[in-house]
Structure 1
Amino acid sequence: MTVTTSDNERLLTPGEVAALFRVDPKTVTRWASAGRIGSIRTPGGHRRFRESEVRKLLADLTSEATVPPARS
């Protein structure tokens, strides 16, 4: 089942986000609790994450990891 917001953006589960970042789903929940990534609560209290925000964060982190350090 795909969940979307009112603007038709796909919402990801903690497990889906964890798979993209290759971390445990509990790590994703900790990131949300710490404010590192935004989340939405469903009426049942489950966290969901905007796909666009997750992909942007992943791209930012990936590009930071691939940029060589500046030479002195």
Structure 2
Amino acid sequence: MSAQHPEPEMLLTPSEVATLFRVDPKTVTRWAKAGKLTSIRTLGGHRRYREAEVRDLLGGIPQQREADR
């Protein structure tokens, strides 16, 4: 019998999340402290964010209209 291994969960750094939202990485950290985004701590104490959760949050933000640009 072979054991089924689930797909590894993709994690993003604060800088990667900040780039997606076009904000400063410290803003992402504040969102995590406020509970708007779940963070995972690495063994070294760094924050990482689940890509699926970040994408869901990003999908809930209204996009800029072409006329506003």
TM-score, reference length from structure 2? 0.79
* 1:9 to 2:9 alignment: yes
Distance 2:30 2:39 in 1: 11
Distance 2:16 2:62 in 1: 18
Task: Give how far 1:62 is off.
Answer: 3.0
Match of 1:61 in 2: 61
> Larger Cα Rg: Structure 1 or Structure 2?
2
Q: Which has the higher contact order (CA 8 A, sep 6+)?
A: 2
Distance 2:56 2:29 in 1: 18
Query: What is the SS of the residue equivalent to 1:49?
Result: strand
Distance 1:7 1:39 in 2: 19
Code of the residue aligned with 1:50 in structure 2: it is R
Match of 2:48 in 1: 48
Distance 2:39 2:62 in 1: 21
Code of the residue aligned with 2:31 in structure 1: it is W
Match of 1:26 in 2: 26
Match of 1:70 in 2: none
Unaligned runs of 5+ in 1: 1-5, 67-72
Consecutive aligned runs of 4 or more in structure 1 exceeding 2 Å deviation = none
Code of the residue aligned with 1:44 in structure 2: it is G
Distance 2:62 2:42 in 1: 29
